[in-house]
Chains A and B, each alone.
Chain A
Amino acid sequence: MRKLYEFLTSLDLGIWLVTGVMLFIGIGSFVAKEGSAINDVPLFIWLTQAPPAETWWLWVTVAILALLALNTVLCSIESLRAKWQRGSFLIRIAPQVMHLGFLLIVLAHLFSAYGGFKDGGPLPEGGAFNFPDGSRLELVRLDARIGPMGMPLDFSGSLRHLTPGGVITGTFSPNHPYFYQGFGVYLKNVEIMPAKTALVEIHREPGAGVALAGALLFTVANLMLIWLRRGRRAGSANEKAPEELQTSEA
């Protein structure tokens, strides 16, 4: 049991697992080309319904990532235990906060893969569609500014949302979606001819908040680490506390 724990907390295992994740993501970049249905549905639907010849690389990546997450958690615990009595609190905690940020981002992907929602299609001006909660969303007006080459330079839409709580009016445009109860309504494109039509998509990303929290934790801890190490000689292992190496290499 002790040997298994030492194996799971070893730096070498972490390095091999990161190498494995890179390898299979690299393979996946050639297998899952743009245009594959991977981006059209929540990830776990794609994983369970697409042919194994398309999905195998992601199953392997997820398995390695699970081990990497375990390795990260155990290494952080061991590192904190070994160094708790020594050195600056911020120096001790910053790398572990970065690890926490990484774990939150992995968790966010799991939330989005399970609970994500994607739908969409063309919607003419004056048209309406049913929102996932059963309420009705109408595209009241569509405005577009078209450039000399026929490319839309700017466009936006006015919305009327008939919800159980009353009528909500709103707008949406590129980079400014309309949000309602965790769903975002996105104006992707417009067609002027033969009739003013919007290409609309509805998304729900339940992992977005967790991903942002993880990213912010990671960034803050990263900047903190750079700040704390400023002016110090950037020697490789020479500046590490001996127990850090022992823990990592255990």
Chain B
Amino acid sequence: MKWLLITSAALYLFGSYSRPLFVAGLVAELIHMGMRGQALGRLPLIGPHDTMAFFSTSIALMGLPFLYSRGAKKDSTLSWSIGALAALFALLALPFRSMNMPLPPVLNTLWFELHVALAFFAYGLFGIGAILGGLYLACNERTLLDLQYKASLIGYSFFSASMVSGGIWGYYAWGTYWLWTPKELWTSILWLFYSLYLHLRLKGSNADRIVAWAGIIGFGVTLFTYLGVSMLMKSSHSF
């Protein structure tokens, strides 16, 4: 099934000048995910292979409305950039072995799937926000900053909902809606960071470049929360 991931990465990397080819890449990834899900009998959300593939799909899926939005740039810079980010994580998923073991009973609940899926949708939107921030800094086009705000606000909403579903799952699974583990601490940092981002906008147009940079730094915090904590710190959330 890995050939589907390779196909989608190739379509993102070499076909993103054309939106239909970008959509074809997304369809290939969705088919890959559907087949993995059918083989496992659940959403493929465990282990680095499946989570990176899910992250890649989330970036492309969440990026699609931005590619078709009125404010998007006429040239293909935005679609190339979103395609490259989605391709990067599709390719990063390839070296890892897919984990086909049954779910531990504690993970076998809708709250867990909702928690993880919503978090990756948010991560995808934060990635798109970072790209839009970079493009704004390069071109100084106001519309790009407006789109970054939309990506971050919707990402923040997904992330908040992910934290709520995670808290409900934690309460029924572990007896507490909160554990003081590195992953949860960094999850709070990420949520606080995007709260900060939304408040920075209230400072007015003088802070526009700071806001754009905040959207870029926010994706750095996202990547550390997702990958850095799992690789560098021991946590119950590690992949």
Contact = CB atoms under 8 A, between A and B. Distances in A.
22 contacts: A18-B199, A26-B186, A28-B180, A29-B186, A33-B234, A147-B101, A153-B105, A154-B105, A174-B106, A175-B108, A184-B175, A186-B174, A203-B175, A208-B171, A215-B163, A219-B160, A219-B164, A222-B156, A234-B153, A235-B142, A236-B145, A237-B203
Nearest to B178: A109
A25 B171 contact: no
Contact of B202 (A118, A152, A240): A240
B189 A205 contact: no
B174 A34 contact: no
A222 B175 contact: no
A234 B149 CA distance: 7
B31 to A, nearest CB: 29
Interface of A: 11, 14-15, 18-19, 21-22, 25-26, 28-30, 32-36, 38-39, 43, 109, 112, 116, 118, 147, 149, 151-155, 173-177, 184, 186, 201-203, 205, 207-208, 211-212, 215-216, 218-219, 222-223, 226, 233-238, 240, 244-245, 248-249
Nearest to B186: A29
A151 B177 contact: no
B182 A175 contact: no
B106, B200, B207, B229: residue with the most chain A Cβ atoms closer than 10 Å: B106
Given A22-B189, A226-B153, A175 B147 contact: no
B95 interface: no
B145, B193, B202: residue with the most chain A Cβ atoms closer than 10 Å: B202
Contacts of A234: 146-147, 149-150, 153
Interface of B: 101-102, 104-106, 108-109, 111, 142, 145-147, 149-150, 153-154, 156-157, 160-161, 163-164, 167-169, 171-182, 185-186, 188-189, 192-193, 195-196, 199-205, 207-208, 211, 229, 233-236
Contacts, number: 157
Nearest to B145: A236
A128 B160 CA distance: 40
Given A29-B233, A205-B171, A236 B208 contact: yes
Given A29-B185, A33-B233, A177 B172 contact: yes
Given A153-B102, A234-B146, A236-B149, A32 B180 contact: yes
A211 B175 contact: no
Contacts of A39: 179-181
B113 to A, nearest CB: 12
Contacts of B233: 29-30, 33-34
B167 A211 contact: yes
